[in-house]
Amino acid sequence: MIVTTAFDTGRMWKWSLTSVGVNLLLGLPAVVPVWLLWYFVANWPFAALGWTQREPTENDGMLPWFLFGGSVTVGFALLWWLANRPVRRRVAVASPWYWLVSALVTLLPTFVLVIVL
């Protein structure tokens, strides 16, 4: 039988707040890969579908964006996962909910910038 004490509850809150803090801090540099992904999608797939217009000075093709944008995005995703993995084990939340909320909290600074600018 597992007994939850006040200490355990305080510890859960501490790690929950740590999780929010870690993801908010990671959300600041996350603006760069999110912008790179949007720029790529807006200039190629969405422009091909007619949903957006291509940047008129963009004539380098897709390869530089796959090399640069892909490596930045994969690098950030790896950093995000490595930072959240030890925190996830200490938070008493179901795993799918933890990862969903962590991703949304990480995107919060990007959403704020989109609204402000």
User: pLDDT tens-digit profile of 58-98?
Assistant: 778 778 888 898 999 999 999 999 999 999 988 888 889 99
Angle between helices 31-43 and 95-116 (to 10 degrees): 70
Query: What local confidence, expressed as pLDDT, does residue 78 receive?
Result: 98
Residues 2-30 have a mean pLDDT of 78
What is the pLDDT confidence band of residue 49, given thresholds at 50, 70 and 90? very high
- pLDDT at residue 4 greater than cutoff 80: no
Task: Please state, rounded to an integer, the average pLDDT across all residues of the chain.
Answer: 88
Q: How far is CA 58 from CA 2, 27, 39, 44, 62, in A?
A: 61, 28, 11, 10, 10
Give the largest Cα separation in the chain, rounded. 66
Structure confidence at residue 9 as a pLDDT band (50, 70, 90): low
CA distances from 83 to 13, 39, 100 (A): 18, 26, 15
pLDDT of 3: 47
Query: Which among 19, 4, 30, 38 is positioned nearest to 90, based on CA atoms?
Result: 19
Structure tokens that stand for 2 in this block? 């597992």
Percentage of the chain with pLDDT > 70?
A: 90
